[in-house]
């Protein structure tokens, strides 16, 4: 997944803001981590303020089921 597409998806999940969207955002970040690494995940968390929206913290690892 390209980082720009991840930003689009995460922004959509932020707007909707339910528990289901939190889980979907977690899956997006897991895919970003698999392809681009933890640094890219941390940048997205900070850039999109995912700590405030979903409680995700920089340095937190995400894994696909």
> Is the per-residue pLDDT at 41 higher than 80?
yes
The DSSP-derived string for 8-43 is HHHHHHHHH-SHHHHHHHHHHHHHHHHHH-HHHHHH
pTM of structure: 0.93
Percent with pLDDT over 90 in the chain: 89
pLDDT digits (tens, 9 = 90+) for 46-65: 999 999 999 999 999 998 87
What pLDDT, on a 0 to 100 scale, did the predictor assign at position 57?
98
Compute the distance between CA of residue 53 and CA of residue 11 in angstroms, rounded to an integer.
10
57: burial class by Cβ within 10 Å (0-12, 13-18, 19+)? exposed
> Is the per-residue pLDDT at 7 higher than 80?
yes
């Amino acid at each position: 997944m390209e980082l720009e597409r991840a930003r689009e998806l995460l922004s959509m999940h932020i707007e909707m803001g339910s528990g289901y969207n939190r889980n979907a955002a977690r899956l997006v970040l897991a895919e970003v981590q698999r392809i681009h690494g933890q640094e890219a995940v941390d940048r997205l968390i900070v850039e999109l303020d995912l700590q405030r929206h979903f409680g995700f913290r920089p340095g937190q690892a995400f894994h696909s089921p």
